[in-house]
Amino acid sequence: MADAAKTRILVIDDASLVRMYYRDALERAGYEVDEALNGLEALERLLVSPADLLIVDVNMPQMDGISFLKVLRRQALPTAGIPAVVVSTEAKAQDMAAARAAGANFYLVKPLTPEALVEHVALMCGPPA
């Protein structure tokens, strides 16, 4: 059973290698990690088990990251306010602006080093418990 005091991060990305890369870096740093393949699955997971932070890809099937954030932020539930870091290969100013308008707190461009990922997570929700 996971430690209830651990900071829980939900990684939302359709690429299994990316999810595994993030999971490895975050778990090594002491965070608890859950995964979702797209925005629709992430909404379902959050209803069952809220997270402390979301790491969201932009380009995903069924529900992309921007749509996911828009839907999440409109909900009248405690999960609507979970901080979100968008991580994408898209690096244009309009991509960053769209993510922020949808409710992203940070926008990072791939590739991302494990150290940079953990540093941003710690900035958003503190060091692991």
Model confidence pLDDT, tens digit, residues 23-48: 999 999 999 999 999 999 999 999 99
The one-letter code for the residue type at 14 is D
Domain ranges of the chain: 8-125
Q: Is the pLDDT of residue 3 over 70?
A: no
Beta bridge partners of 20: none
Picking from 14, 9, 12, 8, the residue whose alpha carbon sits closest to that of residue 69 is 12
* Rounded percentage of the chain residues whose pLDDT exceeds 70: 96
Q: Is the pLDDT of residue 77 over 90?
A: no
Task: For residue 76, name the pLDDT band (cuts at 50, 70, 90).
Answer: confident
What is the CATH T-level fold of the domain 8-125, as seen in this structure? Rossmann fold (3.40.50)
Q: Find where tokens 């939302």 sit.
A: 12
Token digits of residue 30: 């002491």
